[in-house]
Amino acid sequence: MSASRQPLRLQPLKSTDDRAAIPLFTVSDAARFLKLPSETMRNWVRGYDWPGSRGKEHTEPIVTSVPPEKHGYPNIPFVGITEALVLTAFKRQGIRMHKIKQVLLALEREVGVHNALANKSLFTAGADILWDFAKSAQDHDLRDEIKQLVEPSRGQTVFVPAVRQYLQHITYDDDLWALSLRLPAFEPLNVVIDMRRNFGRPILDKSRVRVEDIANRFYAGDTIDSIAADFELDRDEVESIVRVFPVRRAA
């Protein structure tokens, strides 16, 4: 720990908190909303094997999941898709999947709680934590990869712009845990998930209309133009929603 940084005193996210306990999305749902390959999301949720220097090695799951009600039902809660959003930013900066676990452990040691990727401390102190970790890391490859995430700026350490852009998709509650999340797949349309509204289903932020209801209108035979008129959307916004929901979903 940096001598100038005080230890963080954070309240853990209770396992009974709706953000951690209620399954909202399947792996394929979450991957589609974050513009990720389904296989990548599946590996983050289940863990995966990879060829290491001593043969096959295994990495434990790095995204929170809960038992589904039935096979094929949702198993990823709000906190899990928030973690996956941050991991997407890390991955796109070149952090290899089997290195990410070490990054998570370093963050969780410093902040003192699990699910650190869904806590505001990542936004406020995460860059400093990772910079210190990189400087002391014996794994030179890992050190170089972490330095793709953070950079010195005006006497402090910050996340690089590409990572900051992802973190700005997250809104935090007073308890410092993520509360709502803007979904990249729908941009520039502002679609969010928020456990306080519509039970965590993706909605248009301003109107609170569930985007799957808009998609279902299209798959029921309504025209793009009529849907756009009814919901006061542009034609290309309706088309964007339909692309993210390529099959009809149950209401």
pLDDT value at 49 more than 60: yes
Question: Which of 97, 80, 67, 91 minimizes the C-alpha distance to 33?
Answer: 80
Q: What is the DSSP string of 190-212?
A: -EEEETTSGGG--EETTT--BHH
What distance in Å separates the CA atoms of residue 29 and residue 84, rounded to the nearest whole number?
12
Tokens (6 digits) for 137: 């890391």
pLDDT band at 224 (very low <50, low <70, confident <90, very high): very high
pLDDT of residue 135: 85
Give, as one character, the DSSP assignment of residue 177. B
Q: Residues of the chain with pLDDT > 70: what percent?
A: 94
Question: Which of 199, 164, 217 minimizes the C-alpha distance to 25?
Answer: 199
Which of 106 and 219 is assigned the larger pLDDT? 219
pLDDT band at 226 (very low <50, low <70, confident <90, very high): very high
Give, as one character, the DSSP assignment of residue 118. G
pLDDT value at 156 more than 50: yes
pLDDT value at 46 more than 60: yes
| Per-residue pLDDT tens over the stretch 118-128 | 999 998 899 99
pLDDT of residue 8: 58
What distance in Å separates the CA atoms of residue 99 and residue 83, rounded to the nearest whole number?
16
What distance in Å separates the CA atoms of residue 104 and residue 84, rounded to the nearest whole number?
12
Give, as one character, the DSSP assignment of residue 8. P
pLDDT value at 195 more than 70: yes
SS (H, E, C) 33-83: HHCCCHHHHHHHHHCEEEEECCEEEEECCCCCCCCCCCCCCCCECHHHHHH
| Per-residue pLDDT tens over the stretch 88-127 | 999 999 888 778 888 888 888 888 888 999 999 998 899 9
User: Do 205 and 191 contact (CB within 8 A), yes or no?
Assistant: yes
Q: What value does the mean pLDDT of the chain take?
A: 90
| Dihedral pair phi/psi, residue 244, rounded to 5° | -75, -30
pLDDT value at 136 more than 50: yes
Over residues 14-19, mean pLDDT: 94
pLDDT of residue 98: 78
pLDDT value at 217 more than 60: yes
Q: Residues of the chain with pLDDT > 90: what percent?
A: 67
138 to 22, 132, 184: CA distances (angstroms): 39, 12, 35
Tokens (6 digits) for 236: 């290309």
Over residues 38-43, mean pLDDT: 96
pLDDT value at 153 more than 80: yes
Over residues 130-151, mean pLDDT: 87
